[in-house]
Amino acid sequence: MARPGREGPPVRLPPHAPGLTIGLFGGSFDPPHAAHRAASLLAMKRLKLDRVWWLVTPGNPLKETTGLPPLADRMAAARALARHPRVNVTGFEAGIGTRYSYDTIAWLVRRCPGVRFVWIMGADNLGNFHRWQRWRAIARLVPIAVVDRGGHRAPFAAPAALALARWRLPEAQAGRLARTAPPAWVFLHGLKSPLSSTALRRLRDPGAATRG
């Protein structure tokens, strides 16, 4: 258990210990879907991770959050979908008060010494990674795994992909990513599902705003 500060309430993190390799998969999970689970299991296997944490965010600063279901509801739906002993669903960002991925990752790195974290993102997020706050600092904090999205073109011409090109590992070396000093990243092929939360929201409510 960790505290964000002297005045803050206790924040409970999923199981962790020095030496473990843990993937961090962040998102609003509105709604969670099969591709989230498939991407997590693919990354766990290919990167040789001990665990994957789903970081259910209070809201994505880059996207519209009007109508976003309560955090507790999204976490419950994510847990119902995950159904895996090594995939943990957590909403601790709400407890520590972070809005941006860099702040969340920096908080974890400080408070979990010896844990080897890897940031996991979909290929669609690599396309706009350069818009994230302190994205270059994220790349210096932790290795990054980009998971291909079925039906999506790999965005290797995206600004962030070009800027980080020299640190990209061959996919055949994905298993050593978690133990490679950042900056380091790898692109993982093999995910067949083109599902997205945005598309599912549109099916649920054709007038829903894009939240990611």
Q: What is the pLDDT of residues 42-84, one digit of tens each?
A: 999 999 999 999 999 987 665 666 678 999 999 999 999 999 9
Mean pLDDT of the 190-206 span: 53
Domain ranges of the chain: 21-177+184-204
Residue 187 neighbours by CB under 8 Å, 6+ apart:
123, 146, 148, 154, 156, 168, 171
Determine the 3-state secondary structure of 200 from DSSP. Answer: helix
Residues 144 and 119 sit within 8 Å (Cβ to Cβ): yes
Helix (H, G, I), strand (E, B) or coil at 212: coil
- pLDDT for the residue numbered 87: 98
Block residue for tokens 């965010």: 57
Mean pLDDT of the region 132-140 = 97
Say yes or no to pLDDT of 201 above 60.
Answer: no
Confidence band for 9, pLDDT divided at 50, 70 and 90: low
Distance CA 100, CA 103 (A): 6
List pLDDT tens digits, range 83-111.
999 999 999 999 999 989 999 999 999 99
Query: What's the whole-model pTM score?
Result: 0.85
The span from the CA of 17 to the CA of 2, in Å, is 13
Q: Which long-range contacts (CB under 8 A, 24 or more apart) does 124-127 make?
A: 124/149, 124/152, 124/155, 124/196, 126/155, 126/158, 126/160, 126/161, 127/155, 127/158
pLDDT at residue 67, as a whole number: 77
Backbone angles phi, psi at 147, to 5 degrees: -100, 125
Query: Phi then psi for 27, rounded to 5 degrees?
Result: 170, 170
Report the C-alpha dihedral over residues 188, 43, 78, 110, rounded to 10 degrees.
-110
Q: Output the CA–CA distances (angstroms, integers) from residue 148 to 1, 18, 35, 52, 188, in the order listed.
A: 34, 29, 11, 17, 6
Fold of 21-177+184-204: Rossmann fold (3.40.50)
Contacts of 211 (CB under 8 A, 6+ apart): 28, 30, 59, 60, 63, 64, 65, 67, 68, 197, 198, 201
pLDDT at res. 152:
59
